Amino acid sequence: MRTPFPPGSGTRLREELAEQVACRFDPELHDGPKLSASESPEGQAAREEVARQVCADCPLRETTCLAYVRRVRPKRGIWAGLTAEQIAELPNRGSRKAA
């Protein structure tokens, strides 16, 4: 079974979460086609919106998945309902936002 977690992301984490995450049914929905040139900007936007909706209902979104993206900082795809660009803007773990 292909999981949404890429190789090198931690075998134990992938095994533990693979059976619980909502994205396990269609990982390509969250990561896009293998050839990004085969997807139009409109198609990408529509796919990412559906992926965000799947994430919104996932029981692991706010806990495990968000912690994972803060640590790994994926460069593509939808993770915890966020794009790679949005993830890059998240504060580092342990840092505090200025008031």
Report residue 6 as tokens.
């890429």
Give dist(CA 47, CA 59) in Å, integer.
Answer: 21
Q: What angle do CA 92, 5, 41 make, to 5 degrees?
A: 85
Read off the amino acid at residue 43. Answer: G
Question: Of 18-22, 24-28, 65-69, which range is least confident?
Answer: 18-22
Mean pLDDT of the chain: 78
Amino acid at 35: L
Q: What is the DSSP letter of 99?
A: -
* Region of poorest pLDDT, from 13-17, 22-26, 44-48: 13-17
More confident residue, 23 or 50: 50
Please provide residue 83's backbone torsions phi and psi, each rounded to the nearest 5 degrees.
Answer: -80, 165
